[in-house]
Amino acid sequence: MSDVIRIGVIGAGENTRNRHLPGFQSLQDVEIRGVVNSTKESTQRVASEFNIPETFETWQDLIASDDIDAIMIGTWPNLHCEITCAALEAGKHVLCEARMARDLTESRKMLAVANEHPELVAQLVPSPFGLECGPTLTDMLKSFFLGDLREVIVLGANDQFWDYSKTLHPRQDIEQSGKNTLALGILHETLMRWTPKPVQVFAQSEIFEPTRPVPEANDFVEVKIPDSVQIVSELKGGVRCMYHLSGVILFGPGLQIHLYGSRGTIKIEFVDGKETVWYGRADDKEMSILEIPEEEKGSWNVEADFIESIRGNKKVSLTNFKTGVEYMEFVEAVALSAAANQPVTLPLEV
């Protein structure tokens, strides 16, 4: 491989155009060499907008190209496993968009193929939540700010799917998104950075809006992914954890994570790309907002981390395939528990 790392992009949706393409283009000795999107027309539009020299008719053609060193996968989860495995087997490094796959079986296959090619970098786009406050929170937890962690609350409840007149979103399409439900996987991945692993889950779910219109067919399609989920979970060490996830409530709490300990409390709110951290201890009259100095804040470095890992300067930490399988295992356990209406023990049997 030459000094210049040549990236091929498969799938150029909003996140890829807003984050990944500008991120790669800001790096030295990195070239976005080729792109393929869902249609020939959209492929050409992306190529023109970002001055990408090569376009491909299929993702298979892009992977087969000798002009490509690494693959950025920006598709929906239904293609993550197939493209990832093909790219790794073709000798290409892989950066795959979250969510890792449609289910645990696919994610385990991705990990197995990655393990067969340890010379290649296999990275997942991490949850963006907690990247800014993460380093400071990690230091606080290490310094025993909370004391013994007792309870955790995870909230991801809003009105994103409240309007039943809107067409089926890909995140509601079981063929495209599989068992990924609302913000469950991405919030659980964030939580895993700060807490012990889950050992048991008990979940219930509901589909309050069971159909969505298909205007071009003058018909309706059945929704198969829940739009409301509640989970009681036990973490290692006896920590109790509750999740409230919904896409069909008005004026909901949005996205938050609460950590309750024997000595203190930390609450993180994620609103419009901003992170607000509240903290308090027993002697405080009320909670305060944590002011994090700019030089101590974490940031989005996904593309740079991927390139530095390829160059051998670091190992993937956010997020490697092993961590991805762990959050997919939790997603799978929630689906199993809700379907059977009984607790499920983790880890799941292979």
The 3-state DSSP class for residue 30 equals strand
The residues pairing with 257 across neighbouring beta strands, listed in sequence order, are 154, 268
Considering the domain boundaries, does residue 76 fall inside one?
Answer: yes
Buried-exposed string 44-62: b where 16+ CB fall within 10 A, e elsewhere: eebbeebebebbbeebeeb
d(CA 308, CA 275): 27
CB 152 within 8 A of CB 257: yes
d(CA 123, CA 184): 20
1 has a pLDDT exceeding 60: no
The 3-state DSSP class for residue 147 equals coil
CB 253 within 8 A of CB 269: no
Q: What is the CATH number of the domain that holds 243?
A: 3.30.360.10
Q: How many CB atoms lie within 10 A of CB 29?
A: 10
Considering the domain boundaries, does residue 350 fall inside one?
Answer: no
Q: What is the CATH number of the domain that holds 34?
A: 3.40.50.720
Based on the domain organization, do 46 and 56 belong to the same domain? yes
Considering the domain boundaries, does residue 84 fall inside one?
Answer: yes
Portion of the chain with pLDDT greater than 90, in percent:
97
Based on the domain organization, do 81 and 204 belong to the same domain? no
Considering the domain boundaries, does residue 323 fall inside one?
Answer: no
The pair of three-digit structure tokens given for residue 284, joined into one six-digit string: 């405080």
Considering the domain boundaries, does residue 283 fall inside one?
Answer: yes
Considering the domain boundaries, does residue 322 fall inside one?
Answer: no
Q: What is the pLDDT, as a whole number, of residue 319? A: 97
Number of domains present in the structure of the chain: 2
d(CA 210, CA 238): 37
Angle between helices 104-116 and 321-340 (to 10 degrees): 160
177 has a pLDDT exceeding 70: yes
Mean pLDDT, rounded, of the chain: 97
Considering the domain boundaries, does residue 324 fall inside one?
Answer: no
- E strands present in 253-301: 254-261, 264-271, 274-281, 288-289
Based on the domain organization, do 181 and 192 belong to the same domain? yes
Based on the domain organization, do 115 and 236 belong to the same domain? no
Report CA 48 to chain centroid distance, whole Å.
28
Based on the domain organization, do 341 and 261 belong to the same domain? yes
242 has a pLDDT exceeding 70: yes
Burial degree of 1 (CB within 10 A; 0-12, 13-18, 19+): exposed
Structural domain harbouring 121: 5-126+301-315
Q: What is the pLDDT, as a whole number, of residue 2? A: 66
pLDDT tens by residue, 9-23: 999 999 999 999 999
d(CA 297, CA 284): 25
Considering the domain boundaries, does residue 320 fall inside one?
Answer: no
Task: Output the pTM of the full model.
Answer: 0.96
The pair of three-digit structure tokens given for residue 312, joined into one six-digit string: 């051998």
d(CA 265, CA 248): 29
Based on the domain organization, do 167 and 242 belong to the same domain? yes
CB 139 within 8 A of CB 226: no
| Cα dihedral 330/93/80/53 (nearest 10) | 140
CB 9 within 8 A of CB 36: yes
Average pLDDT over residues 215-233: 94
d(CA 162, CA 165): 9
Buried-exposed string 281-304: b where 16+ CB fall within 10 A, e elsewhere: eeeeeeeeebebeeeeebeeebbb
Based on the domain organization, do 292 and 147 belong to the same domain? yes
Based on the domain organization, do 36 and 106 belong to the same domain? yes
Based on the domain organization, do 148 and 100 belong to the same domain? no
Based on the domain organization, do 335 and 218 belong to the same domain? yes
pLDDT tens by residue, 46-103: 999 999 999 999 999 999 999 999 999 999 999 999 999 999 999 999 999 999 999 9
The residues pairing with 9 across neighbouring beta strands, listed in sequence order, are 35, 72
Based on the domain organization, do 176 and 289 belong to the same domain? yes
Average pLDDT over residues 32-56: 97
The residues pairing with 5 across neighbouring beta strands, listed in sequence order, are 30
Based on the domain organization, do 288 and 151 belong to the same domain? yes
Say which amino acid occupies 58: T
Q: How many CB atoms lie within 10 A of CB 263?
A: 11
CB 9 within 8 A of CB 16: yes
